[in-house]
Amino acid sequence: MFQSYFGSRKTIWFILAGIVILALLALAWRIVSLQKAASEAVPEPVIKIGYCGAEPEELCVLSFGRDVDENMVVNIFSPDRKLPTFYLKIKRAAGESVYECEKDKEVQTNVFCYGDMVNLQEKMEVSLIAKADERLIAAGGFTLKAILISESSFAESSGGTSSLEATVGETPTFTGSSNTLDVTPTPTQTPDASYPNSSYPNSSYP
C-alpha cells in the first residue's frame, strides 16, 4: 500500500517537474526570439527634404505661402502614396510650432500644411512627423526667401483686384492644382512693327 502511495506521488512530481521545465524552455525561446527580432529590425532612414525642382519626383517643398487668415501655408510634394499621414514641426529662433497637414483633393501629390507665420529671411528646421507613431519621416533646413500670397488674400488687400504676387526673392517655377499658391507672370508687350511709307517701293516704279 505504502509503495503504491509513494509511487503515485513520485509520478505526480515527475509530471509537475516536466511541465515547469517545458514552461521555462518556452519562456527562454520567446525571450531569445524577441531579442533577435529587435536586433534585426532596422529603422527606416530619415528622408532629407529640400526645395522642389522644376519637375519634382521625390518628397520636397514646393512653396511657402500665406492665406487669408495670415497663416503660413507649406505646400509639400508627396509622390509616395504609402507615406503615412503626417504633420509638420517647424523649429526656429522664436520657438517650435506644429502645422496640421491635409492632402489636396484634386492633386493627390500636393499636401498643404497650415500654421504660424514665419518672417522673411528667417532660418528654420522643418520636420515631417507620422501621426500614427510619432516617427520622424523627413527633415531639412530652410531659409524663407519668398512668400506666395493667395489670390483671394491679395484681392482683399488690393480692393478686389484679382492678382498674385511673390514677396521678395525667388519666383517658384512649379504650378500645382487650382489650390496651389501660384505666381502670375507679368506679360511683356512687344510693339507692332510699323514702317514709313517711304520704305515701300513707289507704285509708279516700272
Residue 128: is its pLDDT beyond 90?
A: yes
Residue 4: is its pLDDT beyond 60?
A: no
Quick one: pLDDT at residue 139? 96
Residue 52: is its pLDDT beyond 80?
A: yes
The fold adopted by the segment(s) 47-167 is: Immunoglobulin-like (2.60.40)
Strands (E), 45-155: 47-48, 60-66, 72-77, 86-92, 95-103, 110-115, 123-130, 136-143, 147-149
Q: How confident is the model at residue 28 (pLDDT cuts 50, 70, 90)?
A: confident
Quick one: pLDDT at residue 82? 82
Average predicted confidence (pLDDT) for the chain: 74
Residue 127: is its pLDDT beyond 70?
A: yes
Residue 206: is its pLDDT beyond 60?
A: no
Q: By C-alpha distance, which of 179, 157, 162, 160 is closest to 65?
A: 179
